[in-house]
Amino acid sequence: MRTQVGIVGAGPAGLLLSHLLHRAGIDSVVLECRSREYVEHRIRAGVLEQGSVDLLRRSGLGERLDREGLRHEGIELRFGGAAHRIAMTELTGRAITVYGQQEVVKDLIAARTAVGGDLRFEVEDVRLDGLDSDAPVIRYRHQGRDEELHCDFVAGCDGSHGVSRPSVPAGVLTEYDRSYPFAWLGILAAAPPATEELIYAHHERGFALYSMRSPEISRLYLQVDPETDIAQWPDERIWAELRTRLETVPGWTLNTGPILEKSVTGMRSLVVEPMRWRRLFLAGDAVHIVPPTGAKGMNLALADVTLLGDAFAAWYREGRDDLLDAYSDTALRRVWRAQHFSWWMTSLLHRLRTDDPYEAKLQLSTLRYVTSSRAYATSLAENYVGLPEV
Ligand code: FAD
Ligand code: DHB
């Protein structure tokens, strides 16, 4: 079988790329190792930057997003027993929208299937060959049969554990990374959010985040040890710890309810350069990872494939390769801005090392500064709502 662009991975990156290529008249096939049901219900990110919302709307994907997405014009930083609002829209003119990643994925799958898009779920043993030739081949197994997908280009959108990046010969790519001595325990709860805006709480026992998915569903996170065994966290312990870290403002209480899902996610920063090798183009988590504190992961994935979609369109329509050649450098400018912001937010808000009171004092001073200086608050806000490449 033949297509123009073979895409590995049906996360936000691979699905949006396939959708944008279709709109530009370019054929693609998406190969995904999980089932459709699985990818449509995988609970992950929840915050869309203004630019991501504009892009989804422009691409014909705004209908349910506009109906169900929650537009937020500020966030709260909570520390030292007080609430401090960062007025994002007042400071930047832009806003964020809370809309679950799995909803973006559902909308994209619906849009692709509505026009007969070729998405293959539950494929196995994906291998990339001929990436340094003009005729790459993706080999895989599907429904018990060995298959070959011949294409002009391969887009590696298969996330942090995919096969695309490891298919590049050793010595070609450079990795820049950072690990953190903590993880997030996340829950989804059938409880109306006790707050209209997201609360990022800095507490001596560790970071906590109050987010949401709808007027009935709350999404909350706790900083925990990376070795945490979720079995040691029965629901009552989770709520008690959330209360300790969040109920620090007089008169404020959180709402509890049945916990629908809970999981522990490790935290890491990683950038792999360049984001291209010959006929393989890497996008999203396949080539960079951020800790979740700045809510940038999904937004970066969407931004990468927007560039890639335009670059493929220029190649197929006009025979131009300048945008394909510029893809990695252009994308990396946004990637590194988000790397810095995510690292900064993570370092500012988490409990760092128990034995270093100096660092804790610096955090508090920075928190006071960012919540009292319009200049510093504007810097946080413009990064949070999303900057163009800088
Ligand atoms: P993915 O969404 O990972 O999609 C990659 C796809 O490729 C997957 O469907 C995978 O099944 C498929 N795949 C992998 N290997 C193969 C293979 N060999 N063959 C075929 N298919 C393959 N970001 C935030 O901003 N806020 C958050 O709260 C947040 N929480 C997160 C929680 C978790 C547990 C994780 C893992 C990530 C979280 N992120 C969060 C990050 C955000 O979800 C990612 O940045 C985003 O999913 C990136 O999209 P992507 O399309 O690049 O990769
Ligand atoms: C959510 C996740 C984040 O990492 C974040 O910074 C804000 C919100 C969320 O899942 O809602």
By annotation, the residues acting in catalysis are 72, 200, 292, 296, 384
Atom of ligand 1 nearest to the CA of 43: 32
The predicted pLDDT at position 229 comes to: 95
The yes-or-no verdict on residue 13 having pLDDT over 80 is yes
Domain 180-267+348-369 belongs in CATH node 2.40.30.10: no
Give Cα separations from 125 to 18, 31, 141, 382 (angstroms): 21, 11, 6, 42
- Whether this model's pTM surpasses 0.95: yes
The position carrying tokens 């025979």 is: 319
Q: Which residue owns the Cα nearest ligand 2 atom 11?
A: 46
CA atoms of 80 and 291, how far apart (whole Å) = 24
- Ranges of beta strands (E only) in 247-374 are 259-273, 276-277, 280-282, 288-289
Q: What is the pLDDT of residues 274-315, one digit of tens each?
A: 999 999 999 999 999 999 999 999 999 999 999 999 999 999
Each residue's pLDDT tens digit, 334-374: 999 999 999 999 999 999 977 789 999 999 999 999 999 99
Ligand nearest to the CA of 209: 2
Among the four given CATH numbers 3.20.20.140, 1.10.240.10, 3.40.50.80, 3.50.50.60, the one describing domain 5-72+93-176+268-345: 3.50.50.60
Per residue in 185-205, pLDDT tens? 999 999 999 999 999 999 999
Q: Whose CA is nearest to atom 5 of ligand 2?
A: 295
* Residues contacting 9, CB < 8 A, separation 6+: 30, 31, 32, 156, 157, 158, 159, 162, 164, 284, 286
**Atom 46 in ligand 1: which residue has the minimum CA distance?**
298
**Tokens encoding 304:** 């990468």
Atom of ligand 2 nearest to the CA of 292: 4
pLDDT tens, position by position, 58-67: 999 999 999 9
pLDDT category at 389 given cuts 50, 70, 90 is low
The ligand minimizing its distance to the Cα of 208 is 2
Average pLDDT over residues 215-224: 97
Answer for the pair 176, 168: CB distance below 8 angstroms, yes or no.
no
| Parts of the chain belonging to CATH 3.50.50.60 | 5-72+93-176+268-345
Q: Which is the closest atom of ligand 2 to the Cα of 294?
A: 6
Specify the pLDDT at position 89.
98
